[in-house]
Structure 1
C-alpha cells in the first residue's frame, strides 16, 4: 500500500510487570501486517514524546528483542504522567500533535495506560473531527489498580495481586514464627487510591488449607479506628499475631487520606504514601503491640519474576487486539477482557467505546467486601483467584532474571520548531 500510515505507540502512567507484553503484542501484530501499517514509532516518555517529536523507531529493534518485551517489566519506551487539556483550553497542544503526526505520516495512535490515559486517547481520537486530521486512536488498557470500567480486569492487576497475595502469605509465616517473643503485627501498604482491588488480593493469602489472620483496610470503607483496633486485638488473641493489608487510599471519617502528604502529582491527584507507619503507630498507641511495617511500592508493580500467566497472556492479547481493531477501521475504542467462565477460567477479547471508559473508575462492589469491612467475600475470591493463576517465569542467568533493554533509536526530527512541555 503506497499510502499506508505509520503508527504511534506510547506508554502512560505507572508502569506494570506486563505493560511491555502489550507493547510486544502490538508491535509484533503491526509487523505481521506490514502491508497495511508502516513503521511503529514509540513515544519516548509517553505522549510527551509526541509533543516534543521525540520518537523511537521500533523497526530498529530485532525480532528477538521485541519478543523479549513479553517477559520484561516496566515501560521499555519510558512513561509519563501528563494529561492533555481540552482543545478549547490548549489548542496549541493539539496543533502540535497534528504537526508531528503529519510530519511522520502517522495515522494510528495507540495509548497504553489507565483512566487518565483513556481520556488522552479519547481527546486524540477527536482530532479528525475538531481539527480535520484523520487519526485512529485506540486505547490499550493497563493499570495495576484494576479500576477501568467495562473490561473484566485490567492487564497489570493480576500480577500485582499475585505478588501481594504471595508476599502477605510469606510475611505471615514469618510473623507467626516470631510472635511468641517478638512481632505481633505486620502492616503492609499497597497501592490503590480509590479502589481496593490490590488490597483485596491480600485476602487470597489465607485459604482453607493455610489459615492465616488477615485484616484488610479498603479505600471504599471509611476508617474506623476503634473497630479496626478491636479486629486487630481479636485476631491477635485468636492466632497470636496478625497481618494488616492497608490501601494507600484509606480515608478517615472527615474524608482525608490517612497518607495525604499535602502534595499533588502531575495529574492533580493527592500524592500518597506512608499510610503503613501511620496505622502501625496507631496500633502501638492503642494496643501496645510490637509491629513491623513495609511499603510494597514499586516492588509490587515491577515483580515480573512472579507474574500471573493469565495476566501476561491478556496483556499481550490487548496489544494485539488494538492493532486488529485499528485495521478494522475502529476509532475511539479500547479492547477489553470478557470473562466467559470462572472455573475453568475462560475469557475472550471484546471492545468498549472510550466515551464509556475515560475518567470513570470501577470500585470494589459492596458484595466483594465482608460485612465487617475487613475482609473479602467468597464472591470476591471467586473473581480474584483466576487472575493470579499460572506461572510465566522470565529466563534466568546466574540466578537473576534476564530482561531486555532496547536500543531505542531516535527517529530523525523533521520539524524546525521545538515544543516546551509545561
Structure 2
C-alpha cells in the first residue's frame, strides 16, 4: 500500500478580499533600487516581477506617496502620472504571466536625505536617524528632520489616499500601507521618535492616530477590501524604540479591527511569542505572516518553508517570503517539489542598478535542461519569458513636492 504525502497548506488556494489566490505564498515587498532618478519604474522591473508571477500574491516594493517621503536613491514613487505609467507596464506584464499585485506605500519620514529627495525630511519630531544614510554620493550623516505641523499631517494623509488611487490606475489590485520598519507611520507610533504633546503624541492612542487615519483614508479612497497594513512589533531597525510594544499593537488593531481591511501583514512573526497569538485573536481578517528568519543571517535551505508551515498551523492565513523570492523566480515550484534553492548573491546586488543579481537568477527548468535532465513539470514559473520591452520614459524634470 503506497502512501501519498499530504500537500503542504502553503500550496492550497486562498481568498483575499476580492482576489482568489492560487497558493498561500506571498512575495514580500523588497526594496531593489531599480527605478530611475525620478522614481519611474524601469523596463527591467517588469521582467523581474513577471518572473515571480507564480506567487499567490506579489506585494511590490515600497513606493513613495509624495516627494518628501523618498528614502534612498532610485526608489519608485506613485505620486505623478509618469509613475503611474511606469508601474502600468509592470502590472500588465505580471497579469500576462498569470500573477496579481498589491503595491506597498511607504513614506520614509526621517529616513531620507535632501540629496535623495531635494527636500528636508519630515518626521513626528525633530529627532534624526542615529546612523548614516545612503545617497547618490555615498553614505552621509542623517539630517535633523522638520517636525510635521498639523497641516503637514493632513496633507500627508491625503497624499496616501491619492497614491492609493494612482496605484489602482496603474493596474494594482490593491495597496499595502507600510507602518513598519522605522518609517514614518512607525516613527509616529514609537516613543523614541514621537515627542509630540498634541493629539498625535503622548499616549498610545495619540501615537497610533496618524497610522489609523492613513489606513482609514486609503480604505475610503479605494475600498477597504483593497488595503493591507504592515506592522513589525518590537523591530528596532532605523533606530526605532517603541517603548511599549505590548500595549501599542493591541490598541492599533482594536482601532482598525472593524474597518474591513483586506489583511494585516505581520513582519518577523514568531508563533512562539505571546504577541503573535494575541494579534491573531484580535485581528478578525486575513493575517499575512512573515517568518522571523533574521536580517543579515543566511537564508534557510528551505527558504522559510518550515517556518511558514508553523505559522499557518498557528493561525496565519498567508505566508510572505522575501529573500527566497528574490533569488528564486520559480520559488513556488521549487518549494512544492522540494528542489534546492538558488542562494542569494552578494547582498550589495540587492540595492544597485542593473540586471545582475536582479533578473538573471536561473529557474529550475533551465538548470535541469542545462544538465541534460528533464524537469518534473513545466509550469509557468519554470518557463518564464520576459515581457516585451517597454519604452524607456523620456527624462522629465523632478516632480513638484506633493504635500509637506
* Structure-1-length-normalised TM-score: 0.27
Bigger relative contact order (CA 8 A; separation at least 6)? 1
Q: Which has the larger radius of gyration?
A: 1
TM-score by length of 2: 0.28
